[in-house]
């Protein structure tokens, strides 16, 4: 991704391996400052994933891949490391795809590097295919952050927007703030600003207003796990956006690499949904919201049924929900995707 640091445009990755450490842009610190988190042990990796130093399913997978290779190089007990990292985020399927891939490749660092390069390259293809869905003067809604920070580079939902901008298309992006951790307001808006893409942050509950007023032409979101029937899990609040989009005749697209598709699960009912600490809802910028005696519920994701999805944008092309069996057949011929589960 392109980043302006003190007037100098630099290209940064969300996660990389250097000097025997896994290095990550600390996404908790954005947009106020760019700070690099350095992980030297598997405990650091587990913390970085669990505490959302890194987030976004593909980026979580890449972090796990590098973390597993690093742990092997440093002589850690790999059975314990796999168990520890596998417990960090239950919903994101890329985490388990990366663990299976690294197991199959003896936890070698070269395999981790290849995994990272594959994910980045596939995200670029998502951008190329998704660009075809964006017309000039399109007004796009996105939810949460599915940009380069959520992958390694390019992004998923934001990749088509990057390509549209590069093609000279005039686009405008409505950015849901994404309570409770504000990934849209903090991360997506920051990425779009770095790319010079015009946008506006909106409250999560304002999206329906702009849809009804016909100020939104299409929606593009990412995903954390997609099942065999096309149901998918994404950041909490996605489901209601998809329902309202359907009601208003607005196409709702899901951008994700093959590593996010979990064909072993038949429907969204079987996706494990992570519930996080209530303080993420109750405390904002150190200030407690509401009565001190009140508690909160904090599901990190929700499931959107496939009937609300216009199509999935993948590195293999664009597929409607009823075409996922064909996508599965294509993926079965892809050696990278045939990693044992």
Secondary structure (3-state) at 11:
strand
* Structure tokens that stand for 45 in this block: 């990796």
Cα–Cα distance measured from residue 185 to residue 193, given in angstroms and rounded to the nearest whole number: 11
Cα–Cα distance measured from residue 306 to residue 320, given in angstroms and rounded to the nearest whole number: 9
- Told to judge if 224 belongs to the known catalytic residues of this protein, a careful annotator would answer yes
For residue 31, cis peptide bond before it (omega within 30 degrees of 0): yes
Catalytic residue among 176, 204, 217, 224: 224
Cα–Cα distance measured from residue 93 to residue 115, given in angstroms and rounded to the nearest whole number: 15
Cα–Cα distance measured from residue 274 to residue 227, given in angstroms and rounded to the nearest whole number: 16
Cα–Cα distance measured from residue 216 to residue 219, given in angstroms and rounded to the nearest whole number: 8
**CA distance readout (Å), 64 to 42, 97, 112, 196:** 9, 10, 9, 31
> Contact, 99 vs 85, CB < 8 A?
yes
Active site residues: 224
């Amino acid at each position: 991704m392109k980043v302006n640091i003190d007037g100098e445009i630099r290209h940064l990755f969300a996660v990389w391996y250097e000097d025997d450490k896994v290095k990550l842009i600390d996404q908790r610190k954005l947009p106020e400052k760019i700070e690099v988190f350095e992980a030297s042990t598997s405990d650091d990796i587990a913390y970085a994933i669990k505490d959302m130093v890194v987030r976004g399913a593909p980026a979580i997978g890449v972090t796990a891949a590098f973390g597993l290779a690093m742990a092997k190089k440093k002589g850690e007990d790999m059975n314990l490391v796999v168990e520890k990292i596998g417990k960090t985020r239950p919903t994101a399927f890329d985490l388990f795809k990366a663990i299976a891939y690294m197991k199959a490749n003896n936890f070698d660092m070269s395999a981790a590097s290849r995994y990272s390069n594959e994910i980045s390259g596939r995200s670029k293809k998502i951008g190329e295919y998704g660009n075809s869905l964006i017309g000039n003067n399109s007004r796009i809604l996105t939810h949460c952050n599915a940009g380069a920070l959520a992958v390694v580079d390019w992004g998923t939902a934001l990749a088509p927007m990057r390509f549209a901008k590069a093609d000279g298309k005039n686009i405008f992006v409505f950015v849901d703030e994404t309570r409770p951790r504000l990934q849209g307001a903090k991360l997506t808006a920051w990425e779009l600003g770095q790319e010079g893409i015009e946008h506006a942050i909106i409250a999560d509950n304002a999206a329906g207003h702009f849809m009804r007023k016909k100020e939104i032409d299409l929606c593009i979101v990412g995903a954390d796990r997609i099942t065999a029937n096309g149901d998918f899990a994404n950041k909490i609040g996605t489901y209601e956006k998809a329902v309202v989009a359907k009601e208003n005749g607005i196409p709702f697209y899901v951008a994700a690499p093959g590593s996010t598709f979990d064909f072993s699960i038949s429907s969204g009912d079987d996706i494990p949904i992570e519930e996080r600490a209530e303080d993420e809802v109750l405390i904002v910028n150190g200030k407690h919201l509401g009565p001190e005696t009140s508690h909160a519920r904090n599901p990190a994701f929700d499931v959107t049924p496939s009937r609300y999805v216009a199509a999935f944008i993948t590195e293999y092309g664009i597929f409607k929900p009823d075409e996922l069996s064909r996508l599965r057949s294509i993926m079965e011929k892809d050696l990278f995707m045939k990693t044992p589960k």
